[in-house]
């Protein structure tokens, strides 16, 4: 699932492509994905794009906002006059746009379009009053997030309250917003912490090392425009590059890049692929 760096990358492009444009029409082809009255947002001008952990908002001039969670395979694809390099669509945009997996189409002024594609259809788009985005619904359930309101003291207090495996806690969106499987694996490897360690048993030094590692790997993810796993593409139709730079994630059977002695093993922890160097990340 796209994580903080992927959704941040989408946000930055949408800011460039959409802000100051007006929504002229909305075609909702799948009412399970789009909740709300399209009339509430038609003719409104897009004034800003925000991100809350893995969720995006498109804020409108009429005090309405679209809250968007792309989940596993959702894609927001822009076509229109603000696309500098022309239209190059990744093969990950299955069926193209508009295509059989396009569920919502936003028509914009000046001939622009924003398409919502989703093969698995787990994603959703909901209309909210802008004032209520943070007060109700999904955004309210999110824990503090790195680079925003997750300070070290708070991070430590989260860990100290639970004996669940540290990796599971890192990925729990109600505790910490934005960290998913790829970056949790990489942050744990970077800080030499075994993913199964009970969170509350981490020492202060380990917690600090992990806190810094989480920020470092997320920063790298943003630098490379996210990881194009599964269906992740950016609104310009291209793919991210972080999958070529992961530290532990996806390295099963390969020699660890730090100790150069042990090979990464892979197992499933709470159903998610977990990559560990048995030498660097002792249990």
Nearer to Zn ion, 166 or 277 (CB): 277
108 binds Zn ion (CB under 5 A): no
Instruction: Encode burial over 151-169: b for 16+ CB neighbours within 10 A, e otherwise.
Output: eeeebbebbeeeebbbbbb
Interface of this chain with Zn ion, residues 243 to 262, rule: CB under 5 A: 256, 258-259
Query: Is 126 among the catalytic positions?
Result: no
The DSSP code for 211 is H
The Cα–Cα gap between 191 and 213 comes to: 6
Query: Is 2 among the catalytic positions?
Result: yes
46 binds Zn ion (CB under 5 A): no
Q: Which stretch binds Zn ion (CB under 5 A): 81-89, 158-166, 204-212, 270-278?
A: 270-278
Residue facing Zn ion at closest CB distance: 256
Helical (H) or strand (E) element with 165: none
Instruction: Check 2, 146, 195, 235 and give the catalytic one.
Output: 2
At 183 the three-state DSSP class reads helix
Peptide bond preceding 59: is omega within 30 degrees of 0, i.e. cis? no
Token representation of residue 217 = 């790997």
Helices assigned H by DSSP within the chain: 4-18, 152-160, 166-170, 181-190, 204-223
Nearer to Zn ion, 230 or 259 (CB): 259
CB of 272 to Zn ion, least distance (A): 21
Candidate list 76, 125, 214, 280; residue touching Zn ion; CB under 5 A:
280
Nearer to Zn ion, 26 or 280 (CB): 280
Nearer to Zn ion, 20 or 282 (CB): 282
Q: Tell me which residue of 189, 170, 180, 172 sits closest to 246, measured CA to CA.
A: 189
Q: CA angle, 85 as apex, 220 and 73 as ends, to 5°?
A: 55
Query: Is 197 among the catalytic positions?
Result: no
279 binds Zn ion (CB under 5 A): yes
192 binds Zn ion (CB under 5 A): no
Instruction: Check 16, 272, 278, 279 and give the catalytic one.
Output: 272
Which residues are at the interface with Zn ion (CB under 5 A)? 256, 258-259, 277, 279-280
Active site residues: 2-3, 54, 272
């Amino acid at each position: 699932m796209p994580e903080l760096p992927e959704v941040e990358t989408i946000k930055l492009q949408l800011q460039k492509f959409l802000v100051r444009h007006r929504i002229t029409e909305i075609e909702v082809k799948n009412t399970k994905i789009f909740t709300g009255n399209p009339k509430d947002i038609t003719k409104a001008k897009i004034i800003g794009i925000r991100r809350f952990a893995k969720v995006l908002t498109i804020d409108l001039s009429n005090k309405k906002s679209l809250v968007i969670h792309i989940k596993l395979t959702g894609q927001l694809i822009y076509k229109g006059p603000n696309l500098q390099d022309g239209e190059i669509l990744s093969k990950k945009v299955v069926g193209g746009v508009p295509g059989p997996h396009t569920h919502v189409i936003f028509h914009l002024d000046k001939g622009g379009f924003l398409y919502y594609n989703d093969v698995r259809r787990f994603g959703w788009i909901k209309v909210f009053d802008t004032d209520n985005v943070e007060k109700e619904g999904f955004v309210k359930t999110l824990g503090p997030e790195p680079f925003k309101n997750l300070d070290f003291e708070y991070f430590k207090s989260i860990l100290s309250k639970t004996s669940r495996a540290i990796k599971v806690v890192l990925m729990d969106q109600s505790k910490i917003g934005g960290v998913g499987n790829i970056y949790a694996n990489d942050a744990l490897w970077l800080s030499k912490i075994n993913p199964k360690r009970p969170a509350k048993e981490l020492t202060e030094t380990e917690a600090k090392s992990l806190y810094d590692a989480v920020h470092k790997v997320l920063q790298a993810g943003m630098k490379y425009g996210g990881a194009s796993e599964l269906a992740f593409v950016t609104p310009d139709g291209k793919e991210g590059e972080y999958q070529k730079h992961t530290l532990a994630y996806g390295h099963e059977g390969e020699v660890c890049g730090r100790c150069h002695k042990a090979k990464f093993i892979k197992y499933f922890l709470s159903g998610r692929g977990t990559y560990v160097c048995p030498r660097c990340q002792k249990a």
